[in-house]
A and B are shown apart, each in its own frame.
Chain A
């Protein structure tokens, strides 16, 4: 089944604007990194969200930041357990080639809720050798950092000086040259992706090693 109604298990408020929508999975299958179209029943409007949960999790989870004046995200925030959400999917090719997992290091770069597919990767692939660089404004946006193995998650915060790195992810990349043989996955706002792309290329990292997913 590719589309259907899924019951809400709950809404976990993470910050004032960001929350995790938890839905019953209903045997929905997907490849880590893929997204689903989510909408409220009978509204005829949907939006794409990457799966935040892993493929072995019993529920579907989505990390959502409320868009001011948005048509979908503000309404999801007020859902209660037992309400339903239309789920359609999964779609997309922001995925990992399983054959590379044993041989390559992965370098994930995200801003804000762009961390969602990387959380999914980390929960789905047990043997993944990765480094996650997560750009946030405040330290309270390090959503579920306990889900990542020690040392793999690096928070770059522009407002809080007690994070692993004080500054933007692109500042981090400039200060800490990335491994040139890794596979690089970038997810988040396009300004970050464009700048990070240039930095990676300046380190002679091939464009075929860089995979991007722009938020919109």
Chain B
């Protein structure tokens, strides 16, 4: 049986590509970042180990046009096609699958992703999908589902693997119940790098200071906190599981020694903390991997890592730490269920920057309650952190309700949504009612990205050179140029948001829309 795990190129009429993989918030960029979809890569690896012919079909990373990707997929005629989607590209996937099903009538189409897993019937009604996964543990489900399809011609009626909604032969939808919440993560294989053509993702990624870089097999599935209202890793149907430290260390060793990787990022919602974080850093040092010229990075939360652990991580050659600073007012943090307090933010960042780590802030603006004062607090606080060198880089996004997260449901129940068209959910503009004009949030975003060109920020980067750390010199002379390019991208998108009523037409041309 031939299984394609497919990511079609999604290109708007401004020539921008949508970054969809790994449930990232979809944004359209001219200069794309190619993210390895880690969970689906594990699924592909698992299926290959089970003896299936797996086609790793990432049209984005493989630099295909939409037409070329479409023609290639039809020519390969897989028995099963697996897609991953999220709110802003649901219409695109529905249209694409409607076309594909005509060309490949015997192929089983499976939809995965957080939007459809929370509204599976909607996707089955809108497009001729055969199965929608209600699980984000795609690797675990596919490792059972594909053999079930291969081994039973009457699988539509007989398959009872939990966490699916299946289109029966009669056309009716059949649910197999909730998916299993907890899976022992170590049962899923470490990613087969050759299968997924890892080098396609090794260079075009703004998070890498050195290339080739890669994403590690995530050590945490879902999130150990899992309560932030805007986040997909939140809900009664989700929990988390964790990969043993030694197994992850083995992968790092292989990536460095066998593949020559120079930067490894773990995109787990939140990486190890406490004992596991220290064991991991000690393991890196014990294996001598900290002296191989490879940087390491991860996502974390404020108040998760203490000073000693941070210093140990720095000693192990960790560099990039991505950390959410969603707002600079307590009211917003409480509403978002963030679970950290502003009073500790500076200290946490100081520990990181003193140790030589490069904290990257992920900032959001545009909550439906956010006042002018709250917005100003956020802008001023972030600028202050950046000017003082407590954070090295940052990104700002417009908080967009997506994928039926608690924040999304809250926006619906409070009747603050301005649109029901999923195409509008691409983060290029605000889609909720706000207490001040949207233009003020856009201006705030521009002001924050403008930090990159501010003399105070530039002077601070020059002062970092006095530490004589290689990474600080690289930061200024290599990463800086790339960062400026990306800042221009963000500002271009926002400038256009006001000028155009819609983000653009997606390929294939829109033929239907959500009612």
Contact = CB atoms under 8 A, between A and B. Distances in A.
Contacts of B227: 91-92
B162 A207 contact: yes
Contact of A216 (B240, B330, B351): B240
A213 B303 contact: no
Contact of A71 (B182, B224, B240, B274): B274
Given A190-B241, A216-B242, A39 B303 contact: yes
A84 interface: no
A76 B132 CA distance: 46
B334 to A, nearest CB: 5
Nearest to B176: A207
Contact of A91 (B224, B236, B337, B344): B337
Contacts of A178: none
Main secondary structure on chain B at its contact with chain A?
Answer: loop
Contacts, number: 88
Contacts of A48: 225, 339
Nearest to B224: A216
Contacts of B163: 207
A208 B177 contact: yes
A187 to B, nearest CB: 11
B408 interface: no
Nearest to A216: B224
A206 B177 contact: yes
Nearest to A37: B339
Given A43-B306, A44-B348, A88 B339 contact: yes
B341 A3 contact: yes
Contacts of B177: 206-208
A68 B309 CA distance: 15
A172 B163 CA distance: 27
Contacts of A191: 184
A193 B182 contact: yes
A166 to B, nearest CB: 26
Interface in B64-83: none
29 contacts: A2-B334, A3-B330, A39-B303, A44-B302, A44-B303, A44-B351, A45-B303, A45-B306, A46-B339, A48-B339, A68-B275, A71-B306, A71-B308, A86-B341, A91-B337, A91-B339, A190-B182, A194-B182, A194-B183, A197-B182, A201-B162, A207-B179, A208-B177, A208-B178, A212-B239, A213-B239, A214-B239, A214-B240, A214-B241
Interface of A: 2-3, 37, 39, 43-48, 67-71, 86, 88-89, 91-93, 190-191, 193-194, 197, 201, 206-208, 210-214, 216
Interface of B: 162-163, 177-184, 224-225, 227, 235-236, 239-242, 274-275, 278, 302-306, 308-309, 330, 334, 337, 339-341, 344, 347-348, 351
Given A44-B348, A86-B341, 13 more contacts: A2-B334, A37-B339, A44-B306, A44-B351, A47-B274, A88-B339, A91-B339, A190-B182, A193-B182, A206-B177, A207-B178, A207-B181, A216-B224
